[in-house]
Structure 1
Amino acid sequence: MKKILYYVFIALILISSSCDKIDNYEIPKEILQGKLIDEITGESFITEQPNGFRIMMKEISYKDNPQPEYFWGKADGTFYNKRIFKGKYEITPIEGAFFPVEKKTLDIDGNATVDFIVTPYLSISELSVKTINDQTIEVSYRLSRNKVGDKIIDTRVFVSQNPNVGANIFDNKKSPIINLNATSDVDILKTTFRQTISNLEKGTTYYLRVGARTNNLQKRYNFTKIIEHKN
């Protein structure tokens, strides 16, 4: 019995001493930044945050197939991470409303910048907002694409009093959706969509943007820029 108590006592000492060890690893301080460029518009890829896109990083300095790390991109298509260890990385934008992107390899030592050109699933153009009366507006637009992908499934005008309007934040009663599952993509791309937004409060500032999506794996929307509107 004394031997058992002795060994238990020694084990407790070892556990206690291991807890006192100080983590002396330096905080990672290298920076990775960049942006996604819309192939169609030549401008930054417009999305939302979160659920817009992620950056996947693989440090290949020591392993051929390392465990990937991820961080979210921003709504304006840029990305920024200031907590990275020095090393050689494979960088890939993923899970956005765009076709697969080729990875890029770069050494991160200090401040590293890398941009990607992405092909969106859909592009929204000819956007127009027309005031009908104090409580009603009409939004018109067209859809297009440079590359055929999944079926186009819906489009809607997202409306909110919050300037971060999008699929994450919107007024459901004022954001009508058009289900396109039964309409051929050929017909969709020929259509000028017109959506009426009613019951707006006079003198109130609203924020709106058009979104459209294909039946992609993450069900991500392609968006227009946010428009500020006051009736």
Structure 2
Amino acid sequence: MNEGKVVNLVASALTNSLGTTVIGHVGLTAAQITIAYPDGKTDVISADQNGDFVQKAPADVRTGTITVSAMLPDEIETKEQVAVEIELPAPVITGVISTRNGQRYLEGYVNQSAVEVQIELAGQIIEPVIDEQQNFELRLPDDILPEEVTLFCRSQKTGKTGRNSVSLGVTSKTQPFPIVTDDMIAEFQQRNQQYERSQAQLDQTSSQAQAQRQPTKNGGNVITRFFGRLFGRN
């Protein structure tokens, strides 16, 4: 090797649920970098002005050895090579208990494909169906508590496992608040006037009805009585 031209190649691979990324550095920014994947495919890239390089591996590259080499163009004597092992991390599983239309559900997600999922529900083991987005859902009994639910997962590719508890999510069952419009207020005022006229007629014809009638029926202003009746407080 030419002692005046040392590439000083370093490289490693980072693997997660999104795939594998090769990262590295060369001491000579002019070096040509070749990345060879386990399936025989290759990428030829260059480093940036600082000598760093980053390359996303093909999506189907999940296991095996990636070979990274670097050399100055047309100077084979400067070639250096590093073997990098691809290793998937353990899968991660998460879950939350939510409520929709009065029914409780366990909504979960696992961050890798080809993963087996099991749910321990009050001592019973259930295997849910995982969709293409790696989500799963299970209808729960109303009396199940979060501490009675445990999530397990196992990668079919690496055999690595994950475990997690669940938490309570925001329920989708809400209490609607009525929107008060001018038309609603006008309609109430009209009905209130009719009500007061009928009460006045009763006052004139029956002194007994006058004594038994609640004094608060005619008390307060129109808007106060409107909201009282609207929310069932009349």
Q: Is TM more than 0.5 here?
A: no
TM-score, normalised on structure 2? 0.31
**TM-score, reference length from structure 1:** 0.31
Higher helix share: 2
Higher RCO structure, 1 or 2 (CA under 8 Å, sep 6+): 1
